[in-house]
């Protein structure tokens, strides 16, 4: 088919804008730049982690990538194929290869259906299988995600949060997708259960040669799962690079603050890391600041940052930073 | 001793019989001390502190044991007396700042309401105090913030307002129930700083409930780990994090992915999930998930044994 | 501030225009509703029919008839009834407005006050005998048809027990102008007020109880308890205050509908010549000018009532203002 260097997913200057209000409402029609000019390349077999504070646009971007949202501007390429403006019917064969797992497993599973049916549903819609074939495939999927065969006849509410997320994952991988977008898949789970799901995702990636886009607000989980990460702030990517490099030596002041803020278990009090505390809140995406969008909160902002918006520039192979004065990479 | 809880038991009458949410919890708290309470959902960490606050209003709840605050027994104290303590000497911060404030009143009004409930102050004196408090929790423009409604503030700002409210009567004891769980890490860092600062300036004792080991290790002087309604391990911060002895604490610490250094290919995970309180195992509640389980674990529930650093585990007791 | 008002006005004009066109078309499309035939009476000669048709303008195109009718209602105000020649409908509607307003307004005061008392008392004593008693009474109030209740009231206060000390003050049925005889106005309306209010006290009391109990589960109630506030204060200042939002929505709809003519049954039972009665009679005789006038009036009131509710909303719920 295609060469391995062909990116599985690529966005070119992708933007998503929502308008709120109408021309007749008191403040007039206003536009929210939820995702602003994002160019991201996802290669086969890797896991790209998207991180950032709530409201940074990471979930909106994820929904654009699977075309749950229409894209306002830019291009979205799946396996070299431009799917930016494809109709629902044209998307059908793509949907099979492009799946999504949501945060709250109890909200995304129909409570009145047995979990076996829920997992079989995508097979009935997309795959040409006999009912025996479907049963066989469901059993296989249950085994893959670590559910017992006799769980097939149960309802979602009979499961714990971790098991429900396993059902959600089984559904997502039922059609052998190439890419799975995981939106906060472990955030609603108990700490002791998170590690199980993180391991399961890693195992499935190995076995099924999956590519992941992984979104979570828990940075240590993102680091564990991702090979590459992209840090987002107010709808744009401010830093991108191999996960371990970005975590050990973040170049953008925002990434530095974000990573330093994560509380970690330190056994020796002297070993406590220096923390950068950001002043103020994330500005409203309705009125993003001029210049660099991070400058009002940036500890190292200079005059240039207030007027000129830095572009996402490659500083070193695979390390991109959108900052006029990045820390040395 | 500021707070001394002895053999606290909280049960709820349900259709499936009596469910014991808290089963014999005992702990002490000194003035100015920060106690971290760690546990997963259903571990009873919140319920036990709601019991201390006298905030369990469910008519089906049964509370037994003893809660002494500055030598005074709180269990069975008339509602009127308890109300005088609540919000005044003992204050509480809740998890979700989005829903913790009444949506139809301004921040200033709600904080002033608490001050006036406990102190004889004029409206304007109370509002002056509100302004001071909001400045103390780092509101850039306190006067202006007072006239804001909750929905007009960001999550971090709301939580600061809730903290200002909790501090309004200079409480000797502050109970914080997952106050940063709903917030971003950058905002969380600011709130944790604030809690540390408050302990320094007000000398309040703080009980900090969380599921995040990282947060506890940054903040707490002493730590208490709960599982299925019981304390499984307690000790000072360094005792607990340098030398965890209960298999649950060890496993929990092990399952957190590291933020620096080498990445393990697989995380050491705990199998299974926390038990339902309706169907607790016969012996040790952690038994079915425990890597160190042996015969005695199925027979009875281990008691918390040891001095300042104690664990409820037959293996640990035997060693 | 000026913009929302203009928008409301525009909305009102649009609703009134739409309704007037629909009423007009329905009238002319209704089989057997040939107005000329009705006016001329049974078995009228064709010439008579033709004369009637011409003198009422039924021989002109529909849109001209519509425009003329609108002009006569809103500009000259001299639209006359098809049934009672010479009876000007606009003054007739204007005369009946105070009657309906007096009836509905008084009943609304009663039902708001009593349903709040009942709702709060029941919520405060949830699951006690008082709560059960109040809710049972509320259900009873809801299930009694208003015409039946009105007749029973009349039977008791006008005939059976009229001569006892208890009801001798009740004046005969009918309406007295407030400006002529304030005491008479009040006395004649007391029984109709109670009759109309009972249904709504039942509904609103139950709705409010449910809303309060629901808001008592909210996190901010727990915060209020943690602040050390008294249960009374928590109930009244926090739970009731937030529950009133649902209450006001319901009130706006009901009040608008009642003022617009839904108090018909009460008006009929107590011999009050209000809007409801007027509309009812006009429908009986298919008197288009009168129907048109009362419907215009009613739709205007429903829109105004909605605007008032929106305004009260802003006072009750600050979240509405910004979103």
Per-domain boundaries in chain B: 3-89+169-255+269-318
- Interhelix angle C288-316/C89-124, rounded to 10 degrees, is 40
3-state secondary structure B18-58: EEEEEEEEEEEECCCCEEEEECCCCCCHHHHHHHHHCCCCC
Q: Rounded CA gap, A260 and C32, in Å?
A: 84
Q: Which domain holds residue C133?
A: 93-322
Q: Do C102 and C72 have their domain in common? A: no
Specify whether the CB–CB gap between A81 and A94 falls below 8 A: yes
Domain boundary, last residue among C89, C114, C138: C89
Residue of C nearest to A21 (CA): C323
Torsion of CA C284, C285, C290, C292, to 10 degrees: 70
List b or e across C153-163, with b for residues whose CB sees 16 or more CB atoms inside 10 angstroms. Answer: bbebbbeeebe
Measured between CA atoms, how close is A184 to chain B, in angstroms?
14
Assigned architecture for domain B3-89+169-255+269-318: 3-Layer(aba) Sandwich (3.40)
Would you write out chain B's pLDDT as a tens digit for each of its 319 residues? 889 999 999 999 988 888 889 998 999 999 889 999 998 888 888 999 999 888 888 888 999 999 999 989 999 889 889 999 999 999 999 888 888 999 999 999 999 999 999 999 999 999 999 999 999 888 888 898 899 999 888 888 888 899 999 988 889 999 999 888 878 888 888 888 888 888 888 888 999 999 888 899 889 999 999 999 999 999 999 899 989 999 999 998 888 888 888 888 888 888 888 888 888 888 888 988 888 888 888 888 888 888 889 988 888 877 7
- Residue C285 predicted with pLDDT over 50: yes
pLDDT given at position A272: 56
Helices (H) and strands (E) in chain B, counts: 12, 12
pLDDT given at position A242: 93
Specify whether the CB–CB gap between B311 and B304 falls below 8 A: yes
For chain C, give the percent of residues with pLDDT over 70. Answer: 95
The CATH number of the domain holding residue A23 is: 3.40.50.300
Q: Does the beta-carbon distance from B102 to C227 stay under 8 Å? A: no
Answer whether residue A160 is part of any domain. yes
Residues of B in contact with A203 (CB under 8 A): 266
Number of domains in chain C: 2
Q: Does the beta-carbon distance from A24 to C4 stay under 8 Å? A: no
Give the 3-state secondary structure of residue A15: strand
Residues of B in contact with A263 (CB under 8 A): 185, 188-189, 192, 212, 214-215, 217-218
Q: Do C169 and C290 have their domain in common? A: yes
B83 touches chain C (CB under 8 A): yes
- Residue C276 predicted with pLDDT over 70: yes
Q: Rounded CA gap, B9 and B228, in Å?
A: 12
C3 touches chain A (CB under 8 A): yes
Report, in this order, helix, strand and coil percent for chain B, each rounded to 5: 35, 25, 40
A244 touches chain B (CB under 8 A): yes
- Residue C14 predicted with pLDDT over 60: yes
Q: How many CA atoms lie within 13 A of C299 on its CB side?
A: 20
Residue of A nearest to C2 (CA): A26
List the single best residue of B47, B89, B102, B181 to mutate versus C (max C Cβ within 10 A): B102
List b or e across B218-227, with b for residues whose CB sees 16 or more CB atoms inside 10 angstroms. Answer: bbbbbbbbbb
Burial class of residue A202 in the structure, from the number of CB atoms within 10 Å of its CB (0-12 exposed, 13-18 middle, 19+ buried): middle
Q: Rounded CA gap, B91 and B179, in Å?
A: 13
The CATH number of the domain holding residue C164 is: 1.10.3720.10
Specify whether the CB–CB gap between A58 and A240 falls below 8 A: no
Measured between CA atoms, how close is B121 to chain A, in angstroms?
32
Answer whether residue A85 is part of any domain. yes
pLDDT (tens digit per residue) in C98-133: 899 899 999 999 999 999 999 999 999 988 999 999
Q: Which residues lie below 8 Å from residue A291, measured CB to CB, with a gap of 6+?
A: A304, A305, A306, A307, A308, A309
Residues of B in contact with C237 (CB under 8 A): 113
B78 touches chain C (CB under 8 A): no
Q: Which domain holds residue A308?
A: 9-321
State the residue for tokens 């977008």. Answer: A181
pLDDT given at position A240: 94
ipTM of the prediction: 0.87
Give the mean pLDDT of chain C. 85
Residue of B nearest to A53 (CA): B184
Q: Rounded CA gap, C204 and B216, in Å?
A: 49
- Residue C250 predicted with pLDDT over 90: no
Q: Rounded CA gap, A200 and A180, in Å?
A: 14
Q: C-contacting residues of B 124-153, CB under 8 Å?
A: 149, 151-152
Quote the tokens at residue A79. 């396996």
Contacting subunits of A (3+ beta carbon pairs below 8 A):
B, C
Q: Do C50 and C164 have their domain in common? A: no
Number of domains in chain A: 1
Q: Does the beta-carbon distance from A26 to C7 stay under 8 Å? A: no
Q: Rounded CA gap, A99 and A173, in Å?
A: 7
Contacts for C66-69 with beta carbons within 8 Å, 24 or more apart?
A: C66/C20, C66/C21, C66/C24, C69/C24, C69/C288, C69/C289, C69/C292
Residues of B in contact with C225 (CB under 8 A): 55, 57, 86
Q: Rounded CA gap, C318 and C313, in Å?
A: 8
pLDDT (tens digit per residue) in C201-239: 999 999 999 999 999 989 999 999 999 999 999 999 999
| Total residues found in chain C within this entry | 323
Q: Does the beta-carbon distance from B156 to A194 stay under 8 Å? A: no
Q: Which residues pair with C288 in a beta bridge?
A: none
pLDDT given at position A28: 65
Q: Rounded CA gap, C238 and C219, in Å?
A: 11
- Residue C132 CB coordination number (10 Å): 13
pLDDT given at position C321: 60
Confidence of residue C295 (pLDDT cuts 50, 70, 90): confident
B56 touches chain C (CB under 8 A): no
Burial class of residue A183 in the structure, from the number of CB atoms within 10 Å of its CB (0-12 exposed, 13-18 middle, 19+ buried): buried
Q: Do C146 and C275 have their domain in common? A: yes
Domain boundary, last residue among C55, C89, C123: C89
**Which of B215, B264, B274 has the CB atom closest to A190's CB atom?**
B274
Q: Rounded CA gap, A181 and A47, in Å?
A: 10
Q: Do C97 and C85 have their domain in common? A: no
Strand A319-321 to B17-29 pairing: unpaired
A217 touches chain B (CB under 8 A): yes
Low-confidence ranges of chain A (pLDDT < 70): 1-4, 21-28, 105, 267-273, 329
- Residue B206 CB coordination number (10 Å): 24
Q: Does the beta-carbon distance from C228 to B118 stay under 8 Å? A: yes
Specify whether the CB–CB gap between A67 and A240 falls below 8 A: no
Residues of C in contact with B151 (CB under 8 A): 318-319, 322
Q: A-contacting residues of B 18-57, CB under 8 Å?
A: 40-41
Q: Do C160 and C148 have their domain in common? A: yes
Quote the tokens at residue A182. 């995981």
Q: Does the beta-carbon distance from B259 to A259 stay under 8 Å? A: yes
pLDDT given at position C147: 87
B17 touches chain A (CB under 8 A): no
Domain boundary, last residue among C31, C65, C89: C89
C222 touches chain B (CB under 8 A): yes
């Amino acid at each position: 088919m295609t060469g391995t260097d062909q990116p599985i997913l690529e966005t070119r200057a992708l933007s998503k804008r929502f308008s709120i209000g109408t021309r007749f409402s008191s403040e007039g029609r206003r536009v929210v730049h939820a995702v602003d000019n994002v160019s991201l390349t996802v290669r086969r077999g890797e896991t790209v982690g998207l991180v950032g504070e709530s409201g940074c646009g990471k979930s909106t971007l994820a929904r654009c990538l699977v075309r749950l949202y229409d894209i306002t501007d830019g291009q979205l390429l799946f396996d070299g194929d431009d799917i930016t403006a494809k109709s629902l019917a044209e998307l059908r064969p793509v949907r099979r290869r492009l799946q999504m797992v949501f945060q709250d497993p109890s909200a995304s599973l129909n409570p009145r259906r047995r979990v076996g049916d829920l997992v079989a549903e995508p097979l009935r819609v997309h795959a040409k299988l006999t009912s025996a074939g479907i049963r066989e495939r469901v059993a296989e999927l249950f085994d893959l995600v670590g559910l017992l065969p006799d769980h097939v006849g149960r309802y979602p509410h009979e499961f714990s949060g971790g098991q429900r997320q396993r059902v959600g994952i089984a559904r997502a991988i039922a059609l052998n997708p190439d890419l799975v977008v995981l939106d906060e898949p472990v955030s609603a789970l108990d700490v002791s259960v998170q590690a199980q799901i993180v391991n399961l995702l890693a195992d499935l990636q190995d076995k099924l040669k999956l590519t992941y886009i992984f979104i979570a607000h828990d940075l240590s989980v993102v680091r564990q799962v991702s090979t590459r990460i992209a840090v987002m702030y107010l709808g744009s990517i401010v830093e991108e690079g191999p996960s371990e490099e970005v975590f050990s030596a973040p170049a953008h002041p925002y990434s530095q603050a974000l990573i330093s803020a994560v509380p970690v278990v330190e056994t020796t009090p002297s070993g406590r890391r220096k923390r950068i505390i950001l002043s103020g809140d994330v500005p409203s995406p309705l009125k993003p600041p001029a210049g660099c969008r991070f400058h009002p909160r940036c500890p190292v902002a200079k005059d240039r940052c207030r007027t000129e918006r830095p572009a996402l520039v490659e500083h070193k192979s695979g390390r991109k930073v959108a900052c006029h004065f990045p820390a040395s990479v | 001793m500021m707070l001394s809880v002895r053999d606290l038991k909280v049960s709820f009458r349900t259709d499936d019989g009596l469910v014991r949410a808290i089963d014999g919890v005992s702990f002490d708290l000194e003035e100015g001390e920060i106690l971290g309470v760690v546990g997963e959902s259903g571990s009873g960490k919140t319920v036990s502190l709601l019991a201390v606050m006298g905030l369990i209003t469910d008519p089906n709840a049964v509370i037994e044991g003893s809660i002494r605050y500055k030598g005074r027994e709180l269990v069975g104290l008339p509602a009127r007396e308890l109300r005088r303590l609540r919000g005044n000497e003992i204050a509480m911060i809740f998890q979700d700042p989005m829903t913790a404030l009444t949506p139809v009143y301004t921040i200033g009004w709600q904080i002033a309401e608490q001050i006036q409930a406990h102190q004889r102050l004029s409206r304007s004196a109370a509002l002056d105090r509100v302004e001071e408090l909001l400045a103390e929790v780092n509101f850039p423009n306190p006067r202006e913030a007072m006239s804001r409604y909750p929905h007009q503030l960001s999550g971090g700002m709301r939580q600061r307002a809730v903290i200002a409210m909790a501090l309004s009567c200079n409480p000797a004891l502050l109970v914080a129930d997952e106050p940063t769980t709903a917030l971003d890490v950058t905002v969380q860092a600011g709130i944790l700083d604030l809690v540390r600062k408050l302990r320094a300036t007000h000398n309040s004792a703080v009980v900090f409930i969380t599921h995040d080991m990282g947060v506890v290790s940054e903040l707490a002087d002493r730590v208490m780990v709960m599982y299925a309604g019981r304390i499984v391990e307690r000790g000072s911060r360094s005792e607990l994090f340098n030398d965890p002895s209960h298999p649950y604490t060890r496993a929990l610490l092990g399952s957190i992915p590291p933020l620096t250094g080498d990445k393990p290919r697989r995380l050491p995970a705990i199998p299974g999930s926390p038990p339902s309180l309706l169907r607790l195992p016969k012996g040790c509640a952690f038994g079915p998930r425990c890597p160190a389980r042996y015969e005695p674990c199925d027979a009875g529930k281990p008691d918390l044994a040891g001095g300042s650093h104690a664990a409820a585990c037959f293996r640990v007791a035997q060693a | 501030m000026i913009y929302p008002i203009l928008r409301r006005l525009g909305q009102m004009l649009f609703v009134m225009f739409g309704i007037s066109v629909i009423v007009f078309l329905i009238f002319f499309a209704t089989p057997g509703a040939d107005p000329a035939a009705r006016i001329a009476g049974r078995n009228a000669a064709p010439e008579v029919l033709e004369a009637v048709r011409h003198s009422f303008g039924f021989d002109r195109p529909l849109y001209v008839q519509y425009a003329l009718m609108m002009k006569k209602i809103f500009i000259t105000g001299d639209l006359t009834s098809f049934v009672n020649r010479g009876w000007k409908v606009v003054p007739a509607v204007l005369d009946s407005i105070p009657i309906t307003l007096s009836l509905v307004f008084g009943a609304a005061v009663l039902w708001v006050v009593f349903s709040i008392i009942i709702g709060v008392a029941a919520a405060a004593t949830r699951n006690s005998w008082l709560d059960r008693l109040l809710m049972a009474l509320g259900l009873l109030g809801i299930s009694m048809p208003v015409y039946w209740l009105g007749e029973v009231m009349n039977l008791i206060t006008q005939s059976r027990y009229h001569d006892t000390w208890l009801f001798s003050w009740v004046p005969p049925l009918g309406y007295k102008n407030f400006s002529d005889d304030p005491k008479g106005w009040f006395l004649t309306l007391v029984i109709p007020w109670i009759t109309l209010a009972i249904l709504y006290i039942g509904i609103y009391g139950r709705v409010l109880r449910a809303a309060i109990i629901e808001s008592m589960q909210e996190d901010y109630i727990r915060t209020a308890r943690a602040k050390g506030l008294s249960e009374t204060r928590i109930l009244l200042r926090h739970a009731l205050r937030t529950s009133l939002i649902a209450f006001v929505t319901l009130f706006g709809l009901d009040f608008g509908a009642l003022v617009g003519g839904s108090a018909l049954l009460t008006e009929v039972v107590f011999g009050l010549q209000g809007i409801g009665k007027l509309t009812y009679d006009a429908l009986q005789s298919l008197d288009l000018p009168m129907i048109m006038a009362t419907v215009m009036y009613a739709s205007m009131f429903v829109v105004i009532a909605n605007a008032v509710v929106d305004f009260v909303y802003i006072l009750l719920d600050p979240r509405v203002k910004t979103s």
